[in-house]
Amino acid sequence: MIELLERADPAMGLEIDQARLRARVDERLGLSTRLWPEVSAGRRPWIIAVASFVAVLTVAIPLLLLHVRPSVNAPDLDGITDLPGFDEAIPLASGGLQLMVADGDTVWVMTTLQNLLQRVSAGSGDIEATYPIDARIEGVVVGDGHLWLMTTDDGGGVLRFSPASGVVDLTIPIGGAPGWAQWFGDNLWVSNDHGELVQIAAGGEIVSRRPGDLKGGEGLGHLWVNDPETGLISSLAEDSTLGEIVIPTLDGLETANGWGVRQVTESAGKLWLLDGDYPFGTNLSIFDPDTGELSSFGGLTFGLLDLIEYNGYLWVTSHTDHLLIRVDPATGDIRRYPVPGKAGGLVVAGGDLWLTLYHPGALVRLDTGADLIEAGEIVADDWNRFPHRMLCTGTADAGGPTVILQSADWIEYGSMSVVQAKLSNEGYTVCANGYVDGEASPEQRAVDLEEALVEAGINGPYVLVAAGDGVHAIRLFADGRDDIAGVVLVDPMPIGFQAFYDDLLPGFGTPPWLDLDAEVSTSLTDFGDSPLMVIGQDPDAVFLSQPFIQDAEREKAEAANMYWQDGLAFYAGLSTDSRSIVANDTGFDGIIWFQADLVVGEVLDVLGMTDTE
Amino acid sequence: MSRSNVVDDQTDRGLRFDPLFNTHYDAIYRYCARRLGGSDAEDAAADVFAVAWRRLDQMPPGDSTRAWLYGVAYRVVANQYRSRRRRTGLTTRLQALAGVGGDDADRDPTTGSEVDLVLMALDGMSPTDRELIRLSAWDGLTRVEIAHVLGINENAVDQRLHRARARLKTRFDLLVAQSPRTEPREASA
């Protein structure tokens, strides 16, 4: 039989054109193989590098555009402060890593899109002052009574800002775009993109330059620098001695420049290193200075950004998963707390822990002693091709239908983390499904959801909740099923909206929204008589908002709104038992963040209907 | 992440990727071809290596690399089936999902050679059984590698593979008995 099988191998005798296949791979990577014959092998990596950098920029620019979108909403940050432990939420503080710094009882935040430097009182939560900065700033450091602003403008440099006068009083070119920066001892240390570590005195003089790549944070009385000579992370002392302590390598942890270790901090006499290989880095590692050994603490989740020690715990933000993670360094206990947005940087000011939410754009003061809502366990994790995730809470003996939360394509699976936590607290099994980054089609998402549920042994009936373009995957998943107990659609994306919008408003940056082929849509079964709630956007907060009308002209704004409202009506028609409501003052993704209670209430209504049937 | 760091990383990535591609392209292409046929196989294999490029830092080293790549290929091929399913209509969604690899369902058992009959027997098996046998017989993966690709433990591979081979033999013998053009033969599992 084996011999017969071997003879039956369809690939037997198959001739494979290696060059042709490689060209297909390169096409997918955005690289041109046509260049290779004209370029020596030694230069190929450089071309790959340049092409890849262009690709990175191509990805980065739409991400920035995403950040502009809330300006057409009117975010109500009360939704954030309704959550336990979220004591203060201050708008416009879009600072991410290195864009927020504490100085005693003051938090300084750089809001990058508006180029505004804000001074926030950690005591009152008031924005005490706002300073326009005439440069693009990518890092803020406090030292010697000044703020030091890292700018990529004019070839890269550092601006010295005087809080007393409220102006930039010195510009220091550093010969390249700045990377990480730290105030240490009496000097500013900053990396630039030529692989140099630049030492700047308080007066602005450049004291030294040396090869090296600075890591974020400090610990064990040192800064930590990747030494390109050894490829290892080495200590940097205040007297600028490099390499008194050298951290060894560890399987699975990149220690080299750039990718790899992003941030370090000290806790319990050890140095903790955060794997910042965004978004796939997941691990914390521990360096023990007594033994000189580096060991793995283990995985936390994807998209790790910042690491800080506060009140005896390590605190880590996950950008993609919308989580704040607390690690007890003594016991190894890990707690994951959902946050209402994309978690960014952390600082301690005025004795409190402060967190930035990059999107929707808020600076939040946390009461870590409060009863923070906890996130659940991840039951599906990285299905190889796409970083697909399904995180389920309350899986043990919850009873009743399982709630499936299907995120919109471009805002990751953790985007409904607050909705999930609140529903779990009501005693239901809730699974958040989605991707760490978006590449999968709606069809793929539907099948991955189905497979993940089967793998996890989570059976119907299901109540389906979809946000934005997540509606397409949910409809595909529900097609022909008889175990759908109810559906809640949160501002669902109309069929064909991307093409319509692009035609209507060419040049307006939008995310690459997912769409569903109109014929496919027509072929899908509807939701029958299952309860269906459609939560629609408030037109006055989105397309008919004054800023949008100004940008798009009233006629086009009204056309966009009309298309969207028609879409909402279409979805409401998918069940004979449907209800439509409007989320006042917001729309798009804002609803799941700013009006989580509204979504939770509607889901509970649907669950209530299924309980009584 | 400074720009130079991005560039450094991509340079390093290119140097690490080339040998990986050169070593495994043949096997991965064949894996895809066995399940998808010619033109789709090329797309799928290219997808596999595009994923490998992006996930180079997460790829396990040494002998585990091959199993990791097959794991990606397994998902990519599944995606291709999903695309086909969409093309052939969503009403046949479940049937198509269950019929992974069932391209030869119309083969006539009364006219087939032994090779045809063994392929028919294989087509009639469950997707998991079929994939186990293909990975073992055609792709030459070890039980450890098969376990990785299918996401099951090694003991389960042993047990399932044993049962799958027995089922294949039973189905093959039945088809041989039905076929007037093929002399009954003693097939060994």
If you write DSSP's letter for every residue of A491-512 in order, what string do you get?
Answer: SPPPTTHHHHHHHHSTT-----
Confidence class for position A387, pLDDT limits 50, 70, 90: low
What would the mean pLDDT of A368-387 be, rounded to a whole number? 64
Higher pLDDT, A3 or A220: A220
B51/A479 touch (CB, cutoff 8 Å), yes or no: no
CB-nearest to A53 from B3, B26, B47 is B3
Most B CBs within 10 A among A16, A26, A454, hence the mutation to make, goes to A16
CA distance linking residue A315 with residue A353, whole number of Å: 9
Predicted confidence at residue A230, as pLDDT, reads 82
Q: Which residue, B119, B113, B114, is CA-closest to B134?
A: B119
CA distance linking residue A465 with residue A406, whole number of Å: 6
Collect all residues of chain A within an 8 Å Cβ-Cβ radius of residue B53.
25, 29
Collect all residues of chain B within an 8 Å Cβ-Cβ radius of residue A306.
none
Most B CBs within 10 A among A12, A21, A275, hence the mutation to make, goes to A21
A29/B53 touch (CB, cutoff 8 Å), yes or no: yes
Predicted confidence at residue A143, as pLDDT, reads 96
Collect all residues of chain A within an 8 Å Cβ-Cβ radius of residue B169.
1
Confidence class for position B100, pLDDT limits 50, 70, 90: very low
Tens-digit pLDDT profile for residues A232-266 = 899 999 999 999 999 988 776 666 544 568 889 99
CB-nearest to B82 from A52, A56, A447 is A447
What would the mean pLDDT of A4-15 be, rounded to a whole number? 83
Does B98 lie at the interface with A, CB-CB under 8 angstroms? no
CB-nearest to B2 from A193, A256, A480 is A193
Q: Is pLDDT at A51 greater than 80 in this prediction?
A: no
Confidence class for position A613, pLDDT limits 50, 70, 90: very low
A25/B53 touch (CB, cutoff 8 Å), yes or no: yes
Closest CA–CA distance from residue A583 to any residue of chain B (Å): 33
B57/A259 touch (CB, cutoff 8 Å), yes or no: yes
Confidence class for position A503, pLDDT limits 50, 70, 90: confident
CB-nearest to A28 from B46, B55, B169 is B46
Predicted confidence at residue A441, as pLDDT, reads 82
Tens-digit pLDDT profile for residues B122-140 = 887 777 778 888 898 888 8
Looking at mean pLDDT, say which of A43-52, A300-309, A480-489, B52-61 comes out highest.
Answer: A480-489
Predicted confidence at residue A449, as pLDDT, reads 87
Q: State the Cα torsion A192-A194-A200-A205 to the nearest 10°.
A: -130
CB pairs under 8 A between A and B: 180
Confidence class for position A199, pLDDT limits 50, 70, 90: very high
Closest CA–CA distance from residue A108 to any residue of chain B (Å): 21
Predicted confidence at residue A227, as pLDDT, reads 86
Closest CA–CA distance from residue A476 to any residue of chain B (Å): 9
What would the mean pLDDT of A521-538 be, rounded to a whole number? 92
**From A320-334, A584-598, B42-56, B95-109, the region with the lowest mean pLDDT:** B95-109
A49/B10 touch (CB, cutoff 8 Å), yes or no: yes
Predicted confidence at residue A599, as pLDDT, reads 93
Tens-digit pLDDT profile for residues A551-602 = 788 899 899 999 999 999 999 999 999 999 998 877 777 788 778 888 999 9
B189/A7 touch (CB, cutoff 8 Å), yes or no: no
If you write DSSP's letter for every residue of chain B in order, what string do you get?
Answer: --HHHHHHHHHHHHHHHHHHHHHHHHHHHHHHHHHH-HHHHHHHHHHHHHHHHHTGGGSPPTTHHHHHHHHHHHHHHHHHHHHHHHHT-GGGHHHHHHTTT-TTTT--TTT--HHHHHHHHHHTS-HHHHHHHIIIIIS---HHHHHHHHT--HHHHHHHHHHHHHHHHHHHHHHHHH-TTS-------
Collect all residues of chain B within an 8 Å Cβ-Cβ radius of residue A259.
1, 5, 9, 57
Predicted confidence at residue A54, as pLDDT, reads 31
CA distance linking residue A580 with residue A578, whole number of Å: 7
Average pLDDT score over chain A: 81
Predicted confidence at residue B142, as pLDDT, reads 86
Collect all residues of chain B within an 8 Å Cβ-Cβ radius of residue A193.
2-5
B115/A7 touch (CB, cutoff 8 Å), yes or no: yes
Collect all residues of chain A within an 8 Å Cβ-Cβ radius of residue B7.
49-50, 52-53
Tens-digit pLDDT profile for residues B65-89 = 888 889 888 877 766 665 554 343 3
Q: Is pLDDT at A305 greater than 70 in this prediction?
A: yes
What would the mean pLDDT of A167-177 be, rounded to a whole number? 93
Q: Is pLDDT at A492 greater than 50 in this prediction?
A: yes
Collect all residues of chain A within an 8 Å Cβ-Cβ radius of residue B122.
5, 8
Element (H, E) at A419: helix A417-425
CB-nearest to A179 from B5, B72, B85 is B5
CB-nearest to A9 from B51, B138, B151 is B138
CB-nearest to A49 from B11, B43, B115 is B11
A21/B15 touch (CB, cutoff 8 Å), yes or no: no
Closest CA–CA distance from residue B150 to any residue of chain A (Å): 11
Closest CA–CA distance from residue A179 to any residue of chain B (Å): 5
Collect all residues of chain A within an 8 Å Cβ-Cβ radius of residue B12.
45, 256
Q: Cβ distance A302 to A290 under 8 Å?
A: no
Predicted confidence at residue B93, as pLDDT, reads 30
CA distance linking residue B42 with residue B36, whole number of Å: 9
Tens-digit pLDDT profile for residues A436-481 = 655 578 888 888 888 888 887 888 899 999 999 899 999 999 999 9
Collect all residues of chain B within an 8 Å Cβ-Cβ radius of residue A444.
79, 82
What would the mean pLDDT of A148-177 be, rounded to a whole number? 93
ipTM rounded to 2 decimals:
0.78
Alpha carbon A433 to its chain centroid, in Å, reads 15
A45/B172 touch (CB, cutoff 8 Å), yes or no: no
Specify the long-range contacts of residues A107-111, CB closer than 8 Å, at least 24 apart: A107/A347, A107/A349, A107/A354, A107/A363, A108/A140, A108/A142, A108/A147, A109/A140, A109/A356, A109/A363, A110/A137, A110/A140, A110/A149, A111/A361
Tens-digit pLDDT profile for residues B162-180 = 778 888 888 888 888 877 6
Does B40 lie at the interface with A, CB-CB under 8 angstroms? no
Predicted confidence at residue A298, as pLDDT, reads 82
Alpha carbon B155 to its chain centroid, in Å, reads 20
Closest CA–CA distance from residue B68 to any residue of chain A (Å): 9
Tens-digit pLDDT profile for residues B11-33 = 677 778 888 999 999 999 999 98
Predicted confidence at residue A59, as pLDDT, reads 32
Q: Cβ distance A75 to A361 under 8 Å?
A: yes
Q: Is pLDDT at A127 greater than 60 in this prediction?
A: yes
CB-nearest to A1 from B11, B25, B188 is B188
Does B26 lie at the interface with A, CB-CB under 8 angstroms? yes
B6/A14 touch (CB, cutoff 8 Å), yes or no: no
Confidence class for position A137, pLDDT limits 50, 70, 90: confident
